[in-house]
């Protein structure tokens, strides 16, 4: 399993950065190798990518989403990957995006790319293009502020599936993300 963790600070309020990130169909404007994304429902997308000469199509599901805090996803077919982006308020007009992507390189070229950190270079470039895109536009192109709770993790102390009360014990409204310590 390959893993990439990157972050970038963007000069927009946390809600602007978050709102734009929920506009998945705009990703080809700043993500290299992403040909198209079609939003098929509030929590499902269909991706078409061309990376390193390999064209792929796959579906992904939003597994957790909380306005101004986080968006998490996983593939449901095709390419095996999952990820999360979190949004952290640094001040009124600056937001830090932190991205983690875990994926399973399948082809020889993908495995070599992971070893030489081509995936890290790609994510860094995508984040820089997102920064330029959102800062130049001056605002988001749309927003979806729905809430998607993470699925229960199992075990005897798991939250019941019908529970509507999120665990807010680690929320930090000043940063838009989890409270540390």
Neighbours of 32 (CB within 10 A): 14
pTM over 0.85: no
Q: In sequence order, what are the residues at sequence separation of 6 or more whose Cβ sits closer than 8 angstroms to the Cβ of residue 164?
A: none
2-143 homologous superfamily: START domain (3.30.530.20)
Give the residues of the chain that fall short of pLDDT 70. 78-79, 109-111, 114-115, 117, 154-181
What was the pLDDT predicted at 68? 97
**3-state SS of the chain?**
CEEEEEEEEECCCHHHHHHHHCCHHHHHHCCCCEEEEEEEECCEEEEEEEECCEEEEEEEEEEEEECCCEEEEEECCCCCEEEEEEEEEEECCEEEEEEEEEECCCCHHHHHHHHCCHHHHHHHHHHHHHHHHHHHHCCCCCCCCCCECCCCCCCCCCCCCCCCCCCCCCEECCCCEECCC
- 17: tokens are 């950065």
What was the pLDDT predicted at 171? 43
What was the pLDDT predicted at 118? 72
* Mean residue pLDDT across the chain: 82
- Distance, in Å, from the CA atom of 82 to the CA atom of 74, rounded to the nearest integer, reads 4
- 106: tokens are 């399948």
What was the pLDDT predicted at 56? 85
What was the pLDDT predicted at 114? 65
- 23: tokens are 């506009």
Whether residue 118 contacts residue 43, with contact meaning beta carbons closer than 8 Å, is answered with no
How does pLDDT run across 51-89, given as a tens digit for each residue? Answer: 777 788 999 999 999 999 999 999 998 668 899 999 999
């Amino acid at each position: 399993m390959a893993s990439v963790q990157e972050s970038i600070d963007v000069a927009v309020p946390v809600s602007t950065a978050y709102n734009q990130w929920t506009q998945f169909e705009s990703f080809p404007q700043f993500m290299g190798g992403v040909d198209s994304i079609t939003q098929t429902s509030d929590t499902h997308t269909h991706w078409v990518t061309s990376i390193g000469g390999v064209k792929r199509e796959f579906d992904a599901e939003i597994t957790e989403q909380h306005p101004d805090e986080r968006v998490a996803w996983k593939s449901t077919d095709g390419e095996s990957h999952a990820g999360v982006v979190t949004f952290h308020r640094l001040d009124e007009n600056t937001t830090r995006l932190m991205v983690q992507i875990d994926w399973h390189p399948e082809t020889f070229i993908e495995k070599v790319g992971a070893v030489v950190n081509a995936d890290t270079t790609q994510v860094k470039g995508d984040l820089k293009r997102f920064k330029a895109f959102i800062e130049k536009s001056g605002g988001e192109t749309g927003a979806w502020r729905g809430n998607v709770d993470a699925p229960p993790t199992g075990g005897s102390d798991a939250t019941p599936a019908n529970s509507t009360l999120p665990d807010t014990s680690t929320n930090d409204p000043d940063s838009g993300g989890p409270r540390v310590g």
